Structure 1
């Protein structure tokens, strides 16, 4: 049984939303450009607005079923929300803000104690402070704690780290992972950062122009042609599963094993034997009909052309090197190298164009 099962239609002037996907994972990332419908979908799930059609089933319990006339009021859904801004009550102490969450429930329905959440999020030394005395990261931890103390069935996190700098984001992410692992509360995580999302989950749902165009495992979604524009915008149109086999931090590079190929990647703090995703844009792949000597490009992957596609004036050459690599080249280059299906080529990928992600 899916943890969440969503099939909702909502329409207002100049905008239509059809969100259909399910997930049986504790955390699912929701990706899409601004104006694609992410916030609208969260508002539907939280019960802040009503859909015209469809259903929303959470852990087997229908919270929305338009066909059966079911629309559980927002205050009875037990859905916690954390926003980009912490939205703490400025006149209350941290402890009072946290207590507000507890007061919303009868004692018999309280899944966590105040102390459990304080310990989980390491905010014990903040309890007597007011929100204006806290850093951005501390505020978000308190906001997360307040949401958890409502004992939610689902957490909706709407870009909760977007207003924080990289240092504070890196402080908060481990707490979000702990929440997932130690509370087992399902969460829908909206973010524009693929790094953040992959730290929490590999399950994604992609929304564009009000429609879920792909959902499922990160690697599968990013290879789905319906999500091609997003993959390209993120530089993820080449996305590979790999294992780190050598760590050379002092020299600034690592070695990753991907199929039969050893790929040189920039050092990013991963450990030997870590499972990682490595990504590079198709525009950062050059093609050669022979291996090149006396060049600085160390990643030269031998393969065979399997297709040549022209999409929106872009020429994309797919090469089977044991896995698929996509190169974006000019039509003139295809002609000059006499490329065709079956041509043997080398895919040249600069080390510094490669990004790597820890897989949760």
Structure 2
């Protein structure tokens, strides 16, 4: 059962554009709005550090690991912002740019651009690009500490080594991939799909498994830092699959019940198995998401009431702070209970 103990509010600000995405790294939080306004806020106080416009609207935003650079993507292209001098470089390619991901070293960023993925340096110079996929690239993720890039598009996930236009490994699946998650160990590649399934490949040998039967499309997937737990939407319950040992084949997930419609998922950094979820009802829930046994139905251990609008995005600013964006433009930072208190 959830408790009445509140998460302390660190700050509360309002933005003029309806938020669609958050990113938090170091002492910065970035928020992207549907109409293309991107704002960079101070983690401690919520004060605005910088802002710029992405023509055509925004879809995703991602700060580099050292918080020195930021990339924002949208329907018509992408933009890069540099903290050192505030320079913003906007690239209006006319190609749908649905995703971006920084390599672990923070020196390269992969950006979806139509049917290709582009790999850029931190200031936006193109280093290499993939060959065209069968359709628009919908998501991408780095593997092997940035030595390999996984790219999802209709029909397959393709992996590219550095500077290789042609894929070095292909993981086929006939369907539309909406989300991609790669285990931090590099062992598993997972896609959430339009056909209401999760498809899993073992990266080493391409062994595969499909978890089907979700009532809705699966558009959000997230591995925790250990790579042993995968959280997914696709149902009123968040499902959490156990990838330890030989993986989830033949097992049942834990079910986390709080929201009628899930709109955001974010694992707390570290190995504690703590997850934050947000819903269209505006509620944020905190979970011991790995408690109990397979088939267990869990209840939140904390709940945060919203503003009346749906939750747009969540981002952990380290293990002790949780940023929440609501669709009415409210951005709030909460202090998270200690791991033992939660």
Q: TM-score, normalised by structure 1?
A: 0.28
Higher relative helix content? 1
Rg comparison, structure with higher value? 1
Q: TM-score, normalised by structure 2?
A: 0.29
Higher relative strand content? 2
